[in-house]
Amino acid sequence: MKQYSIAYLATLVAFVAIDFVWLSTMADRLYRPILGDLLAPDFRVAPAIAFYLLYAAGLSFLAVRAGLMSGSLRTAALHGAVVGVTSYATYDLTNQSTLNNWSTFLTIADLSWGALLSAVAAAAGFWTTQRLVEYLDRNE
């Protein structure tokens, strides 16, 4: 249980921190020119928190756990990329099929971001968990 709690928290922190940088630099450059008024004028905190908590749980269970079970950072990152591209595809491809302004360029950019972000967050979750669990086990 200790291992999975650490994995969840480490993955959550990595994902939120990296995504914050992306969104704070790219929202006005990438999303707003294409989506315009479809974007909310102000950031809505509650749905964002719900997304991050749920996504980190899924990512840590499906990707970090696979890496920990195999002892492989590469496995965690690869599974993270798969989770990212499939999860982001749900959002991006649905939007592209239903929203007039949603472009193929935006879909490709966001899918690429989802895959990269999820791979890096899963790898960070794996690496941090391995190191912390080893440290805690040595010092108990």
**pLDDT 10s digits, 54-112:** 999 999 999 999 999 999 999 999 999 999 999 999 999 999 999 999 999 999 999 99
Spatial distance between the Cα atoms of 23 and 132, rounded to a whole number of angstroms: 29
Q: Answer yes or no: is pLDDT of 12 > 90.
A: yes
Cα–Cα distance measured from residue 51 to residue 41, given in angstroms and rounded to the nearest whole number: 19
> What average pLDDT does the structure give for the chain?
96
> What is the residue range of 13's domain?
2-138
140 pLDDT tier (thresholds 50, 70, 90)? confident
Average pLDDT score over residue span 24-41 = 89
CB 45 within 8 A of CB 103: no
Nearest Cα neighbor of 125 from 9, 21, 20, 16 is 9
Number of domains forming the structure of the chain: 1
111/122 Cα distance (integer angstroms): 16
Give Cα separations from 135 to 129, 132, 138 (angstroms): 10, 5, 5
